[in-house]
Every structure is written in C-alpha cells, then in structure tokens.
Structure 1
Amino acid sequence: MPNRAWRGALALLLLFPATGALARVCPLTVDSNDSMRFAQTELRVAADCTQVRLTLRHGGRVPATAMGHNWVLTRTADYRQVALAGGRARLADSYLPKDDARVIAHTKVIGGGESTTITFPVRGLQRGGDYTFFCSFPGHWNVMRGKLVIE
C-alpha cells in the first residue's frame, strides 16, 4: 500500500511542478551618473520572465542629497503626474508619493558610487504595454527616463 501512495505522489509532482521551477528571474542593470543620465533608455524583458531583478548603479561621485538617482516604473500615462507628486515628497520617501498605486516598482535614491537592487513581479505587465521608467529626484524626471518593453 505505501508503494502505491508513493507512486501517486510522484505522479502529482510530475503533473504539477513546484512554482519555483516555473519562476524565471530576469536581471536588468541600469547605469546612471552625475550628468543626470541613464545609460540605457530602453529595457527589454522577455515575456517568459516572472520577475525582474533590477540593479541601479550610480557611477558618479556626488552624494544622494545633491545628485541622487532612483529608478521608478509606471505606466507612461501616469509617469508625469507621479513625477510631479514626487517633487513634493522627501528624500526619505525616495521622492515618491507614499503608497501610490501608480508606481509599479521603484528603488531607493542612491548617491555616487552606490548601487541598489530590487526584484518585482512581471505579472500584471502586458506585452506591448506602454511603460516608462524615470528618476524621481526633483528636476531629473524630464531628462532621466526611458521605456520598458515586455516582449
């Protein structure tokens, strides 16, 4: 009898693999500098990615209080309003409105020589959707921005 139960359990495992086995975490890296620029203005995510592990690197020398950068993802239609609202926020809040549902993902603000990494789910992002990433540090968002493409 135990042998039969073992075979049944094995059959179920083969039919329904663990969620972790289906997960695909895709790495992205974005470089920034003291000239208020992202080195990448377009990021592509494969459709079979379940999560993105994004690393933001600040290659400059100026501290976060004077030339900090972060990486914020919103739908393009929301980007300007979120950026404007962020200009009224504080550095401690990464220059973002608290608990704003329009913010899909974001890093903290970092200064020269620093890096930060976040992981966020791709579920909910649509292939061919219109997504903008930007730096919400006051005055940076209109120059430091790009497009995220779900392939």
Structure 2
Amino acid sequence: MNIRKTFLALALVGAAGAAQAAPNCAIKLKAGDNMQFDQKEVTVSAACKTITLELEHTGKLPVAAMGHNIVVAATAEADALARDAVKAGAAAGYVPAGDARVLGATKMIGGGETASASMPGNRLKAGGDYTFFCSFPGHSALMRGKVVVTP
C-alpha cells in the first residue's frame, strides 16, 4: 500500500512540474474607458512558436471615442512608433501598415468588444526589451507596459 501511495505522490508531483513548465504563449489584457490596461507587465516565453494577443475592452464608449488595441514593439522604438501610428490614422487602425517596428498588434476595438491576433514567437528574444501600448491618439503615454520574455 505504501508503494502505491509513494508512486501516486511522485506521479502527481511530476504532473504538477510539467504543468508549471508549459510556456506562456499569450498576452491577455483588459482595458476600459479609464485609459488603463489592467496590467503593467506581462510575461511570455521565447519558446512559443506563436504568441497570441488578446484584448477585452471592458468600457462602454465606442471605438471612435475610446478605442483600444495592443501594439508590441521594441522599447527603444515604441515612442516613435506611437507617433507614427497616430499619423497612420483611424482607417489604418492607428497601426502603420507594413512597419517592421510593429512586432504584433490587434485591431482597434470599442466598448464591449474583444480582439485577438497572433504574432510569430521568434520576434521576441529572451531577455529582450519590449513594450506593449495602445496606439489610439493620446493613449500611449498612459496605456503601456513591459513585455518580459523568458527562455
């Protein structure tokens, strides 16, 4: 009987370790009419083949008044990209088309909507310096955070 309990305990410990070892391959954020993301830092793994960006707009205002998206960029390029995103305009979802600085981005959404997008995991390197932000005009100064990339 003791051998069975010991085996079962070891199996459970092994299963728990495997569950903890699974890489996080999603950036999940919520934002509302208060112009803030619900997190200032997110963690993903460089081992992911694909990283999913998921955004939930918890507010009530329409996209034209209080639109939000998620844009991921190298931190050194985030401010310039945010300025260029505003210039890209509403029709482009405030994301410059074909801009290599955009590592990943969701579409712009309004209150009560959700959006998801995916990006190749190899765009993010472990230990790299990355930022996520909202590119709606005037939002990027407040709506931004750090992307931590683990091996």
Amino acid at match of 1:113: G
Please give the alpha-carbon distance, in whole angstroms, between the structure 1 residues aligned to 2:89 and 2:144: 20
Runs of 4+ residues deviating >6 angstroms? none
Q: What is the CA distance between 1:44 and its match in structure 2?
A: 0.2
Please give the alpha-carbon distance, in whole angstroms, between the structure 2 residues aligned to 1:86 and 1:50: 27
Please give the alpha-carbon distance, in whole angstroms, between the structure 1 residues aligned to 2:66 and 2:54: 18
Contact 1:132–1:146 (CA<8 Å) still a contact in 2? yes
Contact 1:31–1:58 (CA<8 Å) still a contact in 2? yes
Matched, 1:138 2:137: yes
Correspondence for 2:107: 108
Q: What is the CA distance between 1:122 and its match in structure 2?
A: 1.1
Residues 2-21 of structure 1: pairs in structure 2 closer than 5 A: none
Correspondence for 1:83: 82
Correspondence for 2:5: none
Correspondence for 2:73: 74
Matched, 1:60 2:59: yes
Q: Secondary structure at the match of 2:25?
A: strand
Q: What is the CA distance between 1:25 and its match in structure 2?
A: 7.6
Please give the alpha-carbon distance, in whole angstroms, between the structure 2 residues aligned to 1:28 and 1:148: 9
Correspondence for 2:39: 40
Please give the alpha-carbon distance, in whole angstroms, between the structure 2 residues aligned to 1:111 and 1:62: 6
Please give the alpha-carbon distance, in whole angstroms, between the structure 2 residues aligned to 1:48 and 1:101: 21
Please give the alpha-carbon distance, in whole angstroms, between the structure 2 residues aligned to 1:133 and 1:25: 16
Correspondence for 1:123: 122
Please give the alpha-carbon distance, in whole angstroms, between the structure 2 residues aligned to 1:52 and 1:66: 29
Could you give the per-residue CA deviations for residues 95-130 of structure 1, whole angstroms, max 9, x where no partner exists? 122211111010110000000111111113111100
Q: What is the CA distance between 1:86 and its match in structure 2?
A: 1.2
Please give the alpha-carbon distance, in whole angstroms, between the structure 1 residues aligned to 2:60 and 2:24: 31
Per the normalisation by structure 1, the TM-score is: 0.80
Aligned pairs, number: 128
Gaps of 5+ in 2: 1-22
Please give the alpha-carbon distance, in whole angstroms, between the structure 2 residues aligned to 1:80 and 1:131: 12
Matched, 1:28 2:20: no
Identity among equivalent positions (%) equals 45
Gaps of 5+ in 1: 1-23
Amino acid at match of 2:109: I
Per the normalisation by structure 2, the TM-score is: 0.80
Determine which structure has the larger helix proportion and give its number: 2
Q: Secondary structure at the match of 1:128?
A: coil
